[in-house]
Each structure stands twice: as structure tokens, then as C-alpha cells.
Amino acid sequence: MLPTIVVYKKLPQDVLDDLRRQAQVVVLEAEPGASHEALADALGAALVDADGAIGASVKVTPQMVARAPRLKAISTISVGVDNFDLADLTARGIVLAHTPDVLTESTADTVFALVLSSARRVVDLAEWVKAGQWHGSIGPEQYGVDVHGKTIGIVGLGRIGGALARRAALGFNMRVLYTNRHPNEAAERAFGARRVELGELLSQSDFVCLQVPLTPQTRHLIGAAELHAMKRNAILINASRGAIVDEAALIEALSAGTIAGAGLDVFEQEPLATNSPLLSMRNVVALPHIGSATHETRHAMARCAAENLIEALAGRLTRNIANPEVVARLRARAY
């Protein structure tokens, strides 16, 4: 008998067709104008009879999972797993798969695009030109700052952080500082990266780039004190998770000139409210969470997530597992 899979995010047609050849597929499609809460409610109801689920951007709560006695695996089309209670899934023996490798390069491209566009005021000046303000030679009021040869501080030197360090060191001759739970010896050898404490990184970096996952330990990792520790001409870049930064403190720091600017792809609440002060600040580049949003990468992520789910339901998944202890426990029982 084929397993039942709930799909709660639109998939490329070829990926969906492949899933339908291997499972009974229930597709949840949000009605036009439907709220996020309505989709979450529909997902909770659909999970009751499901063996697996695949999707993204919906918080899957322990209450939802408790109603799903057959659920064996969930596959998220993302690298981050902060929409799940990992401890609860692990306790219930439910495998959580994610897509950590396929989006690395695209996301690192986005991060460095934020570095460049913030430093060289690309968005601000493009709007200035379109508004008909360019009447002659530009002056210091339109100048940006150099990126090449500066110091970049990367908070979290994992896959994406490492790809960012490669772009910075080899492409722009930047000095690379980083913080990480463990030394990244490969980055130290290849890019001259130097591991330092967070305080030193903040005080020495011209660009501070956040590349850590959202956990209880990293929530509001960057607050008022950390922003005050940065250089006044420094730029904060966040393309990881919005809640890693205390947004109210960031708004205050940008308004007061505590730091020079920010390049943001993520926010504490998404979509960003239309009345957010961040949207009226010329020293802020704000993007709609596009980190991995290219046609090629999003297709690869969906394909990877679908393969993860089918393999997990068959008991064959050996990679891309967010809670590998579940798989180890299941294998131990089989012997």
C-alpha cells in the first residue's frame, strides 16, 4: 500500500508527478487571500491521516503532530528547521529532513549582493535616478564605501558562511574574521579566516554578516549592546533569520547613527509591515527573504526534499536529517 503524503507548499510539476508515482498525494492549496492561519489549520487536519508531509513556511506544532498517529517523516524545503519542535519530533520518532546543501551558493550570492548594494548604495541611488534627481556629475552625497580590502566578520562559518568567506577573500581581498562553535580549519587554510570572540568581531569588522540558525541561544544575539560594539561606519547584513537581531534595537541604532547601515533579507515578522521604519531609511536595503530564490535552486530544493521524504518513509534516508538520533534509534530496533 502506498504511503499518504501531504504537500503544503507548491511544488514544480515534475517533482509533484514523481511523488504521485510513489505515494498517495494530498495537495493543500491556499485559497486566494486565505490567511497563514487557515493554511496551518488545513495542514493540521490533513496530517491526521498522513504518513509523511513536505512543504515550508508553516509552523508545525506539537499539537498538530499529536493528532497524526501515522506520521513517520516530514521533509522541509529549507535548510532552517525553526518551524518545528525538533525535540518533540524526536521523542515521537518522526524523522525531520531538510535541504542543507543545494542552496548554499545561491544564498551566499544573496548575502554578498547585500554587502555590495549596501556599501555602494545601489538601491538608494537607483531610486534616485528613476526619480529624475540625476542632473549632473555626482558628488560626495552620492558616494558609497569600498568593499574590497575591508574586514568582513561572519557569525557562523558553516556551509553558507564558508561560501561567503570564499567570495570575500578570493574575490574581494577581504580580511575574514569569524565566530563559530568549532574552528573551521579548511576556511582558515584556504581564506586566511581567523576565529575570534563575538566582541572582537563586532569591534573590528566593516561588514558583520549573520549566518547562524535560529535557536533559543541565537534569538536576539544582536541587540543594543552588540550594535553599540560595532564601528560607526559598519554595515550589518542579515540573511539568516530575522529574530537573530533585536529589530527594535536595530531601528534605534540606524536612526541614531550607531552603525552606518543594514542589508536585510529577513525580519522578525514576515512579510515586513508596510509601516516599518526600516522601509523609510535610506541606509537600509530590504529584500523579501530571497536568499535561495532562484529558479534553479528552488527546483533543486524541491527535488531534494521530495527524495528525502520518499527515502525516509522507506527507512533508507542517510543524509539531510535534522534529528539523526531518530534514524539511529529505528535502526537499532531493527536488529
**Average pLDDT of the residues in 284-309:** 97
Between CA 211 and CA 156 the distance in angstroms is 5
Q: DSSP per residue over 286-309, as a string?
A: E--S-TT-SHHHHHHHHHHHHHHH
pLDDT of residue 94: 97
Tens-place pLDDT, residues 35-76: 778 889 999 999 999 999 999 999 999 999 999 999 999 999
Cβ partners under 8 Å of residue 32, min gap 6: none
Q: What is the pLDDT of residue 327?
A: 79
Catalytic choice (127, 270, 296, 325):
270
Tell whether the model's pLDDT for residue 31 goes beyond 70: no
Residue 133: per-residue pLDDT:
95
**What is residue 146's three-state secondary structure?**
coil
pLDDT for the residue 268: 97
Q: Residue 198 is placed in which grid cell?
A: 563575538
Contact 272, 299 (CB under 8 A): no
Mean pLDDT of the chain: 95
The three grid cell numbers given for residue 118, joined into one nine-digit string: 549596501
Confidence bin at 329 (pLDDT 50/70/90): confident
| Cβ within 8 Å of residue 138, ≥6 positions away | none
Q: What is the mean pLDDT of residues 285-303?
A: 97
Q: Which tens digit of pLDDT belongs to each residue from 134-190?
A: 999 999 999 999 999 999 999 999 999 999 999 999 999 999 999 999 999 999 999
Give me the percent of the chain exceeding a pLDDT of 70.
97
Out of 195, 289, 303, 311, which one is annotated catalytic? 289
* Domain annotation for the chain: domains and CATH numbers: 4-100+295-334 (3.40.50.720), 104-286 (3.40.50.720)
Longest dimension (CA), the chain: 77
Buried b (16+ CB within 10 A) or exposed e, 115-128: bebbbebebbbeeb
Band of the pLDDT at 29, cuts 50, 70, 90? confident
Side chain identity, residue 300: A
**Res 32: pLDDT:** 64
Q: What percent of the chain has pLDDT over 90?
A: 93
> Is-contact 102 300, C-beta < 8 A?
yes
Query: In the chain, count of helices (H) and strands (E)?
Result: 14, 12
The single residue of 98, 175, 195, 241 carrying the catalytic annotation is: 241
289 counts as catalytic: yes
Res 335: pLDDT: 46
**What tens digit of pLDDT does each residue of 102-133 get?**
999 999 999 999 999 999 999 999 999 999 99
Q: Is 182 a catalytic residue?
A: no
pLDDT for the residue numbered 332: 61
Q: Is 166 one of the annotated active-site residues of the chain?
A: no
